[in-house]
Amino acid sequence: MTAWDTETIDRIAAADDLHIAPYRPDGATPGTPTWIWSVVVDDRLFVRAWNGPRSRWYRAAVEQRAGIIETVGRRIDVTMTPIDEAAAPELGTRIDAAYRTKYAGSAYLPPMVAEGPKAATVEITPALEEDRA
């Protein structure tokens, strides 16, 4: 796992447009990009699946652990790591707070901080070049 550079993570944090595409079972072909909300906590990027663990992109992310994101005018190879918020409740609380701040006033916010999506939280990190070799 590698960290985001400061400029990129700051731009992603400010953006409202992120598409996620875990790789298909061949490990090389990206799936269909899905628009998704993202939040940044301590320079770490997190996303949640609206439909919880049964979401198609979430299941692919858990299986493949890699894919691409499209955001801030870039297409970025990434790794995808499921987060067990029950095992890290303070992190889950901070992710909830980030969603509440970034998406305040949206009718879609309450479901995103509910149990289903919380159970489908993924951390996104930039892939190392050798990860894609």
pLDDT value at residue 110: 96
Mean pLDDT, the chain, whole residue set: 93
pLDDT value at residue 17: 87
> Residue 35's CB: how many other CB atoms inside 10 A?
10
Rounded CA-CA distance 95/2 in Å is 20
Rounded CA-CA distance 74/18 in Å is 10
Q: In what order do the strands lie in the sheet with 38-41?
A: 34-35, 18-22, 66-71, 74-83, 121-126, 44-48, 38-41
Instruction: Name the token pair of 57.
Output: 């992109």
DSSP structural state of residue 113: T
Contact yes or no for 57/49 (Cβ under 8 A): yes
pLDDT in tens, 117-126: 999 999 999 9
Helices and strands (H and E) in the chain: how many:
5, 7
Residue found by looking up tokens 């906590």 in the block: 41
Interval 124-131 mean pLDDT:
78
Amino acid in the structure at residue 85: E
Whether the pLDDT of residue 133 is over 60: the answer is no
**Backbone dihedral angles phi then psi of residue 29, each to the nearest 5 degrees:** -95, 120
